[in-house]
């Protein structure tokens, strides 16, 4: 079946979409971010580690709703109590008791954190963290790594237009470059409010980078010297490295931690947590949102946390991720191809050498999609608790044929 036939419903829907939605599908879910014409654009359902697109094609999924579905799609351990709460009431005039219970639970669970506020988008949490840092320190400048993603707010998004001044005090450095970081702290002495970092570097379109062992000690000593706050943006990696926050895994000690995505297995909630010392500063801000106290996502988070704790999900995802990485490497080698698997085992990404535009990735991902495996060509992948040995085996099996296609394509 040709790609046009296989994805016909997706493409028909997209044709309708462009008439009433700017770009048809905007942002990170845009067809242009995958391989246009060779990927599904619309999905209808998910179960475990499998998703179904609008044409009825099924995929073993390694995007997990951009990392959110850490227990897998349609997990009844989360969905059953969420539906019970939905029937009682999601958005009431004030929070429900679960608002307090979730904050209490997170404060016990997340290393070093003494309070929590809840919002919807990851961007709400990162923007609040930066705002709070500025207000608390009385300083303006923000440091972040080049290519790091901290959300879609103007201060950190791809919307760089001269008429927007949100980035005027935001400065970037190459991830892990200690000299560059020291130089920025030197240049803006007494002016730096905060540095915001992801636990490790997971830029799009390229290999992932783990922090060298001297990285966090340096970041922390520079922050201490300059009375700047250290924000750990754990939205993407959260709970795949450690149940106690990715900073625990890397032995880092941030002042503020942002979470979202996997916190409630896909229910819309984000959290900003902070050290006890910063609670007063947090109270001085007006923090609000109509949906920010809704209880369904909080009930989902409580049950997601419970399941993660009881099932040792980090260990399972790491095992499955390791198996996937090793299997892909072997399958590539069997075809005489080299691949680079980067990032933590539970959040891997694959590139081919000498392929800066990721053409090989696109051919490979399109071939895998045709065979029923969803591996994003440009964005890191995610394992979930729902991925089992047989899913990984099936994936590796299909990768063999897909590597063959890559080889054929580039030897023409």
- Residue 333 CB, nearest distance to a second copy (Å)? 29
| Minimal distance, residue 179 CB to a second copy, in Å | 28
User: In Å, what is the CA distance from 132 to each residue of 77, 135, 136, 137, 151?
Assistant: 35, 5, 6, 8, 16
Smallest distance from the beta carbon of 106 to a second copy, in angstroms? Answer: 8
Nearest residue (CB) to a second copy, 40 versus 211: 40
Q: How far is the CB of 64 from a second copy (least distance, A)?
A: 8
At its nearest, how many Å lie between a second copy and the CB of residue 177? Answer: 26
Least gap, CB of 113 to a second copy (angstroms): 10
Query: Whose Cβ is closer to a second copy: residue 51's or residue 331's?
Result: 51
Considering beta carbons, is residue 40 or 343 the nearer one to a second copy? 40
> Distance between CA atoms of 269 and 261, rounded to whole angstroms?
7
**Between 1 and 91, whose beta carbon lies closer to a second copy?**
91
Q: Which is nearer to a second copy, 154 or 318 (CB)?
A: 154
Nearer to a second copy, 122 or 211 (CB): 122
Give whichever of 78 and 331 is closer to a second copy, judged by the CB atom. 78
Residue 262 beta carbon to a second copy: minimum distance, rounded to whole angstroms: 10
């Amino acid at each position: 079946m040709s790609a046009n036939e296989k994805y016909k419903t997706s493409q028909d829907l997209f044709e309708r979409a462009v008439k009433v939605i700017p770009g048809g599908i905007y942002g990170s879910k845009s067809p242009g971010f995958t391989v246009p014409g060779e990927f599904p654009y619309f999905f209808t359902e998910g179960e475990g580690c499998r998703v179904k697109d609008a044409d009825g094609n099924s995929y073993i999924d390694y995007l997990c709703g951009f990392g959110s579905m850490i227990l897998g799609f349609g997990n009844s351990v989360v969905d059953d109590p969420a539906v019970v709460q939905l029937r009682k009431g999601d958005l009431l005039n004030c929070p429900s008791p679960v608002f307090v219970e979730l904050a209490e639970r997170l404060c016990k669970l997340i290393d070093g954190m003494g309070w929590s506020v809840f919002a919807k988008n990851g961007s709400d949490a990162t923007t609040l963290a930066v705002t709070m840092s500025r207000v608390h320190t009385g300083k303006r400048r923000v440091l972040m790594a080049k290519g790091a993603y901290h959300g879609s707010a103007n201060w950190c998004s791809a919307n760089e237009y001269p008429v927007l001044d949100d980035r005027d005090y935001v400065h970037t450095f190459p991830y892990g470059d200690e000299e560059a970081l020291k130089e920025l702290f030197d240049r803006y002495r007494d002016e730096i409010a905060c540095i915001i970092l992801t636990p490790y570097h997971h830029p799009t379109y390229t290999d992932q980078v783990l922090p060298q062992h001297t990285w966090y000690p340096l970041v922390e000593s520079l922050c201490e010297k300059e009375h700047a706050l250290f924000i750990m943006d754990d939205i993407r990696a959260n709970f795949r490295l450690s149940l106690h926050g990715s900073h625990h895994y890397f032995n880092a000690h941030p002042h503020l931690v942002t979470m979202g995505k996997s916190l409630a297995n896909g229910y819309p909630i984000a959290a900003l947590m902070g050290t006890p010392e910063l609670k007063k500063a947090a109270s001085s801000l007006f923090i609000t949102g109509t949906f920010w106290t809704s209880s369904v996502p909080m009930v989902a988070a409580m049950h997601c946390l419970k399941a993660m704790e009881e099932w040792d999900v980090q260990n399972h995802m790491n095992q499955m991720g390791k198996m996937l990485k090793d299997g892909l490497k072997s399958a590539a080698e069997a075809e005489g191809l080299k691949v680079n698997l980067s990032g933590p085992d539970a959040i891997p990404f694959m590139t081919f050498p000498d392929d800066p535009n990721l053409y090989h990735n696109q051919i490979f991902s399109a071939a895998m999609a045709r065979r029923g495996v969803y591996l994003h060509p440009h964005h890191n992948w995610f394992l979930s608790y729902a991925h089992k040995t047989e899913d990984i085996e099936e994936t590796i099996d299909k990768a063999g044929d897909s590597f063959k296609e890559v080889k054929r394509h580039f030897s023409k």
